[in-house]
Amino acid sequence: MKKYILISVLLGVISVIGFTGVADSYFAADFMKVSDAEKKWGTLTLGPEQFKAGDLTKRAPMAVDIVKRSLYVGKSRKTVRQELGDPDSYFFSDTIYAYKIMPFPGENKEIWHLVFIPDDKLEKVKAVKIHKKCCYNLPF
């Protein structure tokens, strides 16, 4: 019986360690550097009304501006919604606002969106990043 419990515990620990490794690489590998985003889309000064209107050809370069200048870091999440409109994408949880910044490229093709990571109290924006939403290279 002790052997069964020990084996179960070891398998559980190995599973948790394995999942943690995958989760770390998942989050670490999927955010685009600002310099890469600028090369890909250029930069366009944020126009909140234009962003809110949803023109994806303008959203990507405006997203670069938002990230590059940390425009919403430290501001309330309410301000983000007021200025940029309701989130229209999804990242991990509804508490993390995410916005489409490019048209859907087709199945299994790279797509990026803008995410607003909240602070621990879910009141203010802690970080803003461009996140890869599709087609991950899994480490296994």
Segment 84-139, tens digit of pLDDT: 999 998 888 888 999 999 877 667 677 788 999 999 999 999 999 998 877 655 55
* 137 located within any domain: no
Distance from C-alpha of 31 to C-alpha of 114, rounded to nearest angstrom: 10
**Is 139 domain-assigned?**
no
| Alpha helices per DSSP H over 1-140 | 2-29, 34-41, 48-53, 56-68, 77-84
Buried b or exposed e, range 58-81, using 16+ CB within 10 angstroms: bbbbbbbbbbeeebbbeeebeebe
User: Is 140 inside a domain boundary?
Assistant: no
pLDDT digits 0-9 by tens, 50-95: 999 988 889 999 999 999 999 999 999 999 999 999 999 888 888 8
Domain assignment present for residue 32? The answer is yes
Tens digit of each residue's pLDDT (9 = 90 or more) over 10-46: 444 344 334 333 333 334 448 989 999 999 999 999 9
> Could you give the number of structural domains in the chain?
1
In a domain, 67, yes or no: yes
